Structure 1
């Protein structure tokens, strides 16, 4: 039986192309999802796949990096597939682990190394971008729940005895946000 696996990393990306390729390749069952290759959710989807496959099955993927984003995780998935006496087949023909020979084994490791290299390059470029943005004084991460003006108003209202619950309702934030905002401004004032 041909069993497909498709994955995209973000909710904005589409699975349609991978699903079409897997269907065109003759997959009778396809496991798919929108999750990062390093996420727990991806591990769960891969476990479902591994639990499903049987001896003689072929696991089909469009690209090797769909199985994971690190060399270790990809090799672990391949080992799990082989442990079930199934094989892995990449649609573009770059790899078919049903061919148990030294060249095929070398290709598995080489493809995994390049998947890991790609992941490391993405992480490095992201870190460089963050450092540059920080050096230019741009805000990184989630935007604050309250503007500076609102935070100052909240601080003054709390000093004047207004309750945390009332302030949370007034500004449509959690009580924890009220506490954090008050502490942040209080520490600046000192």
Structure 2
């Protein structure tokens, strides 16, 4: 069993030294760290390096849970990935210890899952509300307007070729075929 640390600050202006000292004092033999947003590709690269490095029985130690990622959902996904490898996660502030058999710690880990699901639902609801308010439901806009569709149908009935209509309207031949079938 090895103690592996993970430290992160959000900007290049912030200092990692306090986290690094705390993780070293906690007995971490290796510490992964970075200065980047939790949302960045760089952060994901450091997390992937950590996940690939740890082995069954290891303990990943963080000063606080939010160092692992920007959203609760991302943090929980990382914890689940680590747990699937037999790796435990512990925070120095005592919020999380997946190795603990204490009912309170088990409940805390389960609550993380509940809150991650809640966070996801709130985000989806906000997106849907915004789409309804703006009238943008998502997806690609149609290649042809309704009047153009009617023109294409009429020209098809008159015997114009699908290829010629596709060139004329600046769409693919498949789009014209879909109009014909509709």
Pick the TM interval, shorter chain.
0.5 to 0.7
Count of aligned pairs: 117
Partner secondary structure for residue 80 of structure 2:
helix
Q: Deviation of residue 83 (structure 1)? A: 0.9
CA contact (8 A) 2:76 2:112 kept: no
CA contact (8 A) 1:3 1:29 kept: yes
Alignment of 1:96-107 (within 5 A): 96-100=97-101, 103-107=104-108
Aligned CA distance change for structure 1 residues 109 and 70 (closer, same or farther; 3 Å): farther
TM-score of the two chains, using structure 2 as the length reference: 0.59
Q: Which residue of 2 aligns with 1:57?
A: 58
Give the Cα–Cα distance (whole angstroms) in 1 for the partners of residues 42 and 56 of structure 2. 25
Q: Which residue of 2 aligns with 1:89?
A: 90
Unaligned regions of 5+ residues in structure 2, if any?
Answer: 123-182
Give the aligned CA root-mean-square deviation in angstroms.
2.2
Partner secondary structure for residue 104 of structure 1:
helix
CA contact (8 A) 2:4 2:58 kept: yes
Alignment of 1:128-167 (within 5 A): none
Alignment of 1:63-74 (within 5 A): 63-74=64-75
Give the Cα–Cα distance (whole angstroms) in 2 for the partners of residues 76 and 100 of structure 1. 21
Q: Which residue of 1 aligns with 2:4?
A: 3
Give the Cα–Cα distance (whole angstroms) in 1 for the partners of residues 66 and 110 of structure 2. 12
Give the Cα–Cα distance (whole angstroms) in 1 for the partners of residues 74 and 12 of structure 2. 22
Unaligned regions of 5+ residues in structure 1, if any?
Answer: 121-190
Partner secondary structure for residue 8 of structure 2:
strand
